């Protein structure tokens, strides 16, 4: 199975900050990576798929990059509504597992 390691697991940032979250795969997954945002008590929301394609309706301050084994999710200017937990997911092969998550909190 492919393991996904997210870093950091916790991040404290201020409104307006540029934030970068990394997801590393234990083997190459081409660009078959998705990013999700989850707020407490809510279902996850798809932000980015195919490593860098923004899901419809997602603000352009979110961007994704990478291929192979290293991927990043960047929020260019953190907004109050962006404080949440972020997960990556690989879709290269079964099982389509998730990373451990990165919780973004207000500094």
Q: Are 102 and 24 in contact (CB under 8 A)?
A: no
Say if CB 6 and CB 89 are below 8 A apart. no
Tokens of 48: 């980015």
- Is there binding between residue 16 and other proteins (CB under 8 A)? no
CB 86 to other proteins: min, Å: 11
Our finding on whether 58 is near other proteins (CB under 8 A) is no
Residues 6+ apart with CB under 8 A from 43: none
Site residues (CB under 8 A) for other proteins, limited to 27-46: 32, 34, 36, 38, 43-46
Site for other proteins, rule CB under 8 A: 32, 34, 36, 38, 43-46, 48-50, 53, 55, 87, 89, 91-92, 94-101
């Amino acid at each position: 199975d492919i393991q996904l390691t997210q870093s950091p697991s916790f991040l404290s940032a201020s409104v307006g900050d540029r934030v970068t979250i990394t997801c590393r795969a234990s083997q190459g997954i081409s660009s078959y990576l998705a990013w999700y945002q989850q707020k407490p008590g809510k279902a996850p929301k798809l932000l980015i798929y195919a490593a860098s394609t923004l899901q419809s309706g997602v603000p352009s301050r979110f961007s994704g990059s990478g291929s192979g084994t290293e991927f990043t999710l960047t929020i260019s200017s953190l907004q109050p509504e962006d404080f949440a937990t972020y997960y990556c997911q690989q879709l290269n092969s079964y099982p389509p597992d998730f990373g451990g998550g990165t919780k973004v909190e207000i500094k």
